Amino acid sequence: MSHLNSCLKFGVHFRESLAQILVRYDTRPDEVIEAEQKSIPPHPEYVSDTELLALINSADVDSDVMQVARRLYWRHLNHPFREVYRAFRETHKGEVDAEGNSATFPEFVPSDEQRANMEQLVQLQWASARQDWLELAELYRELGDMEAAARALSNITGEKERMHFVIDKLVSLNVRGPVKFNY
């Protein structure tokens, strides 16, 4: 009794996988099937935070990939400050302004590595065909250039995102550090 007949006899419902269908019904010659399988690019590998620097320092990286890698590295480098920020907020949780927002923030001075990465990311943004003004504002803000951050925000046209108003508020308060923000 065939597999299909035994499944039907016992009331088992199944669906063949693509691999099973190809094995049973693909009538192309083996060479054609093998050539097609070889032409499929390998699945991209995941790059961990600790491997980003090696990717950034490699010479043959596309500018779009470099921009993504530097953005991820920026977040990775900011991570230790998040712990400082959480501890600071806990210590100063009673200090709020009239609107109920935290009135103080811990001092943030980017390391040389952070500064260099953010400056490179700014250059990549300016070299791209279309600038992400919100990201540029955030980069300039963390670099401490509040005027450039405000200019970047002023380039945003149309309906403003909630994040636009958050960055604008941080610029007006002269806050440089990465800040926790809940959407």
- Residues 24-36: what's their mean pLDDT? 82
81 & 32 share domain:
no
Chain Cα centroid distance, residue 149: 20
User: Which pLDDT score is estimated for 45?
Assistant: 64
Rounded Cα distance between 49 and 58, Å, is 15
pLDDT in tens, 5-16: 554 555 555 677
Amino acid at residue number 41: P
Total H helices, total E strands in the chain: 9, 0
Which residue has better confidence, 79 or 52?
79
Range of the domain at 119: 49-172
62 & 134 share domain:
yes
User: Which pLDDT score is estimated for 59?
Assistant: 75
In this predicted structure, the answer to whether residue 2 has a pLDDT above a threshold of 60 is: no
In this predicted structure, the answer to whether residue 170 has a pLDDT above a threshold of 60 is: yes
27 & 95 share domain:
no
SS3 of residue 111 by DSSP: coil
Residues 6+ apart with CB under 8 A from 18: none
Question: Are 21 and 29 spatial neighbours (Cβ–Cβ below 8 Å)?
Answer: no
Using CB atoms within 10 Å of the CB of residue 73, give its burial: 0 to 12 exposed, 13 to 18 middle, 19+ buried.
buried
73 & 30 share domain:
no
21 & 82 share domain:
no
100 & 11 share domain:
no
pLDDT in tens, 157-166: 877 788 888 8
pLDDT in tens, 95-142: 777 766 666 778 899 999 999 999 999 999 999 888 899 999 999 999
Query: Does residue 147 form part of some domain?
Result: yes
Rounded Cα distance between 16 and 27, Å, is 17
